[in-house]
């Protein structure tokens, strides 16, 4: 009806605006975080993802897809461990960057919309989304994305979500301080996806939610060694639930 058409029109305008934004910053996308923080998170999230795949029986050679792959560094790392990877993003220029990063491997990269994936049912053994779901406009779009992921996953397949644990003061920091030095997330906040939202959804079985990292992105390099040691301790104690990142493992 008219209302549905109006909503689709608004959705298309929003998506175009989002694509243009990421096209503009594509060449400087990796520099939005300090190099020492970016490399720490790349290693950290790759290790957690690989450990989780192994834990739930997703073996090397399995077919996976990175939704919202950005410049493709996570995709590159996972591919190098023997997984048959695809990656999509709605920014053509980010996909161009990702193709350069992934030269020499067999990863398949293309421009695509997470809300309407051009893959048949039961295409993938696993899917992961690293800080991409919070760019969806609202919970309606989040539910639609989860439905699409469920469709393209094989029975028993695994969805791994890495997101920010936006509780209390950390949410204020992400909404109003972090965007002053970072052009990825918008001032005023994104549609942050909280662990309890994923725990309440009905499409997937929640296997685990793992919290990690305890320092903001502005820690200077000369203090990083100290904060890394503190972080390692915090991840081993009961205060882990206050980690600023989390990973959710969901099974179809």
User: What does the pLDDT look like over 36-84, one tens digit per residue?
Assistant: 888 999 999 999 999 999 999 999 999 999 999 999 999 999 999 999 9
How far apart are alpha carbons 252 and 248 in whole angstroms?
A: 13
Residue 21 has pLDDT above 80, yes or no: no
Q: Residues 155-199: pLDDT tens digits?
A: 999 999 999 999 888 888 889 888 887 778 888 889 999 999 999
Q: In the predicted model, what is the mean pLDDT of residues 5-15?
A: 53
Which is more confidently placed, 89 or 26? Answer: 89
The residue ranking higher by pLDDT, 92 or 26, is 92
The answer to whether 67 and 163 are in contact (CB under 8 A) is no
The half-sphere exposure of 28 on its side-chain side, counting CA atoms within 13 A, is: 8
- The pLDDT value recorded for residue 19 is 55
The pLDDT of residue 169: 81
- Are the C-beta atoms of residues 185 and 178 closer than 8 Å to each other? yes
pLDDT of amino acid 30: 65
How much is the pLDDT for 184? 82
pTM, two decimal places = 0.88
pLDDT at 24 over 60: no
- Encoded tokens for 210: 């793992």
- Confidence (pLDDT) at 20: 53
Q: What is the pLDDT of residues 70-129, one digit of tens each?
A: 999 999 999 999 999 999 999 999 999 999 999 989 999 999 999 999 999 999 999 999
pLDDT in tens, 198-230: 999 999 999 999 999 987 677 889 998 998 999
Above 60 in pLDDT, residue 15? no
Q: 35-40: long-range contacts at Cβ-Cβ below 8 A with a sequence spacing of 24 or more?
A: 36/221, 36/224, 37/217, 37/219, 37/224, 40/224, 40/228
Q: What is the pLDDT of residue 156?
A: 96
């Amino acid at each position: 009806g008219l209302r549905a058409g109006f909503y689709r029109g608004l959705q298309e305008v929003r998506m175009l605006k989002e694509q243009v934004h990421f096209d503009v910053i594509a060449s400087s996308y990796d520099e939005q975080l300090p190099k020492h923080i970016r490399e720490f998170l790349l290693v950290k999230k790759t290790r957690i993802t690989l450990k989780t795949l192994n834990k739930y029986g997703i073996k090397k050679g399995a077919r996976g897809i990175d939704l919202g792959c950005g410049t493709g560094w996570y995709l590159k790392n996972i591919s190098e461990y023997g997984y048959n990877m695809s990656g999509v993003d709605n920014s053509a220029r980010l996909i161009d960057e990702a193709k350069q990063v992934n030269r020499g491997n067999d990863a398949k990269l293309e421009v695509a919309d997470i809300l309407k994936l051009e893959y048949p049912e039961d295409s993938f053994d696993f899917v992961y989304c690293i800080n991409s779901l919070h760019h969806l406009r609202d919970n309606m779009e989040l539910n639609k994305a989860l439905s699409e992921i469920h469709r393209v996953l094989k029975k028993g397949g695994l969805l791994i979500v890495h997101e920010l644990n936006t509780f209390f003061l950390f949410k204020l920091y992400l909404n109003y301080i972090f965007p002053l030095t970072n052009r990825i997330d918008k001032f005023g906040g994104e549609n942050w996806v909280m662990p309890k939202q994923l725990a309440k959804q009905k499409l997937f079985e929640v296997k685990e939610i793992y919290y990690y990292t305890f320092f903001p992105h502005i820690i200077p390099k000369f203090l990083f060694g100290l904060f890394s040691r503190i972080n390692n301790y915090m991840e081993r104690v009961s205060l882990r639930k206050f980690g600023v990142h989390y990973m959710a493992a969901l099974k179809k």
